[in-house]
Amino acid sequence: LESLRQRMFEAAAKKEFEEAAEIRDVIQKIQQQLLA
């Protein structure tokens, strides 16, 4: 998860918001599965 979070921040820094949003969605889905 940490590498995904790092990629999200790098993408945001490059203003690649679509990629950042996709990665954030993936992180949220993983967290939901862990909580389920």
Q: How confident is the model at residue 10 (pLDDT cuts 50, 70, 90)?
A: confident
Domain count, the chain: 1
pLDDT above 80 (res 20): no
The answer to whether the pTM exceeds 0.85 is: no
At 3, which amino acid appears? S
pLDDT above 80 (res 34): yes
C-alpha span between 4 and 27 (Å, rounded): 8
- Rounded mean pLDDT of 20-25? 90
Look at residue 13 in the predicted model and tell me its pLDDT.
Answer: 84
C-alpha span between 8 and 3 (Å, rounded): 9
Look at residue 28 in the predicted model and tell me its pLDDT.
Answer: 96
pLDDT above 90 (res 7): no
